[in-house]
């Protein structure tokens, strides 16, 4: 069996726009590079950055324009144009069941929640759910010319069969909650097939994973969708169910896989743990080599790069920070991992004087000034930020503060000015470095991201440290004033 048959012909790069969506100019530089590394297309997850209109206006970028975090119609068109010009196909991804926070958080759609207090999952029994999802799909499909595939998400439907109507329906169905899930997905899929007969439908597989062949067969799901099996763990805890290939092979004529190059090792991670992602890709290659004979056709892979764990989560690794990991993972997918391939990729990205680490290394500035991928200035800025954060924790939890300036001591004015005087220069130096870091990041991020992203990143990462240092410095100064008087 040749490599194309074993590992599929598609290599899609997942662009998760729900966190830190880059400006269009960034894609102009990135997409041709992706193509040159061997990507064949994009799995484009717009979420709330898509310019939905009419009855859906408020869930997309048209409502967010005042926040400028999302794309105008012209910008979204440009992104598709750049992808096409770069030789990349596009598979849009629109969530239709779980991870619907971007819709269900709005007052107008709140009553579609399965659990009234949680915005994650939609109720499949509510008569307004399907019209909403069909409207989402219509707008997405109409906007993307020449697509062959549509990804309908449908992963991690945390809340299923919990509202009174769904409880009743589940207890009346032969297969309970599984039937609720499959019947809903099926009706969406049937709508897509009828309206857009040229489209093939892809969905995440995790909700199907625990279902038996009998359940899947009885709902004819194999006739309608192509599952995308996602698994992001490295070799040591890679754990797809052993029967998954036989099971899916007997149900689905076409199957996809999904690995991860970022956004899968920690929900507030700043730099990818490349070692983890390389191992994930190596293990996937082995998995396919052993099992691909059990299925009819493996379509290909999506290299996922998550920007947030969900709509409300803080941002994890930024796209520019994930580029070295993506370049390496794609190389691994095509040629396997060796020291030589690592060095080739490192060199092509400009890591000549400084190594490209496979575990995150906080590095202080000065930093290499000759890197060769778009947004590298942000990637090295993040290394500086991590280095700074380590120093910050070292100071705030230092023995000196715990011994001579702890909360009890301050609230009782029981402090020794001699000790506090020696702390003040440390606070001042740290505040100065933080201000330099902030200025650097603002300039670099402004070129790649929108202002609202900068506000969020600074507010989540820089300002809390700034406030804490300022507070400590003022406290030390006050204590000296109080306790120095003779
Ligand atoms: Zn329900």
Which among 302, 329, 348 is the end of a domain? 348
| Residue keyed to tokens 């899930």 | 181
Tell me, in angstroms, the distance from the centre of ligand 1 to residue 372's CA: 51
Is residue 316 located within the same domain as residue 382?
A: no
In a domain, 370, yes or no: no
Residues 446 and 320 in one domain: no
Rg (CA), the chain: 25
Q: Are residues 322 and 451 in the same domain?
A: no
451: in domain: yes
Q: What is the pLDDT, as a whole number, of residue 1?
A: 54
If you write DSSP's letter for every residue of 97-144 in order, what string do you get? Answer: SSS-HHHHTSGGGGGGBSSTT--S-B-TTSTTHHHHHHHHHHHHHHHS
Among 348, 388, 349, 396, CA closest to 365:
388
For residue 369, is it within any domain?
Answer: no
Domain assignment of residue 168, given as a range: 3-348
Q: Quick one: three-class SS letters along 448-460? A: HECHHHHHHHHHH
Give the integer Cα–Cα distance in Å for 335 and 254: 24
Contact 211, 236 (CB under 8 A): no
Tell me, in angstroms, the distance from the centre of ligand 1 to residue 240's CA: 30
How much distance in Å is there from the Cα of 273 to the middle of ligand 1? 39
Q: 340 by DSSP, 3-state: which? A: helix
Residue 317, domain member (yes or no):
yes
Instruction: For residue 136, count CB atoms less than 10 angstroms from its CB and return exposed for 0-12, middle for 13-18, buried for 19 or more.
Output: buried
Q: Tell me which DSSP letter residue 232 carries.
A: -
| Assigned domain for 241 exists | yes
Q: Please indicate, yes or no, whether residues 181 and 314 belong to a single structural domain of this protein.
A: yes
Q: Which two structure tokens, joined as six digits, stand for 88?
A: 């990349």
Backbone angles phi, psi at 281, to 5 degrees: -70, -40
Identify the residue whose tokens are 């390496």: 328
pLDDT at position 173, please? 95
- Residue-level pLDDT, tens digit, the chain, 486 residues: 567 679 999 999 999 999 999 999 999 999 999 999 999 999 999 999 999 999 999 999 998 655 567 999 999 999 999 999 999 999 999 999 999 999 999 999 999 999 999 999 999 999 999 999 999 999 999 999 899 999 999 999 999 999 999 999 999 999 999 999 999 999 999 999 999 999 999 999 999 999 999 999 999 999 999 999 999 999 999 999 999 999 999 999 999 999 999 999 999 999 999 999 999 999 999 999 999 999 999 999 999 999 999 999 999 999 999 999 999 999 999 999 999 999 999 999 999 878 899 998 888 876 666 899 999 999 999 999 999 999 999 999 999 999 999 999 999 999 999 999 999 999 999 999 999 999 999 999 999 999 999 999 999 999 999 999 999 999 999 999 999 876
pTM assigned to the model: 0.96
Distance 399 CA to ligand 1 centre (A): 55
Cα of 129 vs centre of ligand 1, distance in Å, is 10
Q: How many domains does the chain have?
A: 2
Output the CA 123–ligand 1 centroid distance in Å.
4
194 is catalytic: no
Which residue in 5, 7, 4 sits closest to 284, CA to CA? 7
Q: Are 94 and 137 in contact (CB under 8 A)?
A: yes
Separation of CA 124 and ligand 1 centre (Å): 6
Say if residue 286 is in the same domain as residue 426: no
Q: Please give the Cα distance from 152 to 95 (Å, whole number).
A: 5
Catalytic residue among 28, 75, 108, 156: 156
How many CA atoms lie less than 13 Å away from 114 in the CB half-sphere? 22
Please report where in the chains the tokens 């107008």 appear, as a residue: 108
Q: Is residue 337 domain-shared with residue 383, that is, in the same domain?
A: no
| Interval between CA 370 and ligand 1 midpoint (Å) | 55
Question: Which contiguous run of DSSP H or E holds residue 276?
Answer: helix 274-291
pLDDT at 374 (0 to 100) = 97
Other Cβ atoms within 10 Å of 158 Cβ, number: 13
């Amino acid at each position: 069996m040749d490599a194309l048959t074993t590992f599929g012909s598609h290599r899609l790069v997942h662009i998760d726009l729900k966190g830190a969506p880059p400006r269009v100019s960034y894609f102009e530089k990135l997409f041709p590079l992706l193509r040159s590394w061997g990507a064949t297309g994009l799995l484009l997850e717009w979420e709330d950055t898509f310019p939905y209109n009419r009855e859906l206006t408020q869930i997309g970028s048209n409502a967010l324009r005042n926040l400028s975090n999302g794309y105008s119609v012209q910008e979204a068109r440009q992104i598709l144009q750049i992808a096409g010009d770069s030789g990349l196909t596009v598979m849009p991804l629109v969530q239709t069941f779980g991870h619907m926070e971007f819709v269900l958080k709005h007052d107008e759609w709140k009553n579609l929640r399965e659990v009234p207090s949680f915005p994650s999952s939609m109720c499949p029994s509510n008569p307004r759910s399907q019209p909403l999802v069909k409207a989402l799909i219509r707008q997405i499909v109409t906007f993307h010319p020449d697509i062959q595939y549509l990804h309908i998400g449908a992963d991690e439907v945390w809340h299923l069969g919990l509202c009174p109507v769904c409880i009743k329906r589940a207890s009346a169905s032969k297969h309970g909650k599984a039937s609720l899930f499959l019947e809903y997905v099926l009706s969406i899929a049937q709508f897509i097939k009828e309206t857009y007969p040229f489209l093939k439908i892809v969905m995440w597989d995790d909700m199907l994973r625990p279902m038996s062949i009998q359940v899947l067969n009885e709902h004819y799901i194999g006739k309608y969708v192509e599952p995308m099996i996602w698994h992001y763990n490295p070799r040591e805890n890679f754990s797809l169910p052993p029967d998954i290939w036989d099971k899916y092979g007997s149900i689905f004529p076409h199957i996809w896989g999904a690995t991860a190059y970022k956004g899968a090792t920690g929900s507030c991670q700043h730099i990818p743990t490349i070692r983890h992602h390389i191992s994930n890709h190596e293990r996937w290659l082995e998995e396919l080599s052993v099992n691909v004979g059990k299925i009819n056709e493996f379509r290909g892979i999506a290299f996922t790069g998550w920007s947030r764990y969900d709509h409300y989560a803080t941002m994890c690794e930024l796209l520019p920070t994930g580029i070295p990991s993506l370049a390496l993972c794609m190389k691994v997918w095509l040629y396997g991992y060796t020291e030589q391939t690592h060095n080739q990729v490192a060199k092509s990205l400009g890591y000549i004087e400084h190594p490209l680490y496979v575990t995150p290394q906080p590095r202080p500035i000065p930093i290499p000034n000759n890197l060769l991928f778009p947004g590298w200035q942000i990637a090295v800025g993040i290394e500086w930020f991590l280095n700074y954060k380590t120093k910050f924790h070292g100071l705030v939890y230092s023995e000196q503060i715990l011994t001579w300036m702890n909360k009890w001591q301050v609230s009782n004015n029981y402090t020794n000015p001699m000790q506090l005087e020696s702390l003040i220069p440390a606070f001042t130096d740290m505040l100065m470095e933080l201000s330099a870091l902030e200025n650097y990041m603002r300039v670099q991020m402004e070129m790649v991201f929108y202002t609202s992203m900068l506000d969020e990143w600074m507010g989540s990462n820089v300002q809390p440290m700034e406030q804490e240092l300022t507070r400590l410095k003022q406290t030390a100064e006050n204590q000296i004033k109080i306790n120095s008087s003779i």
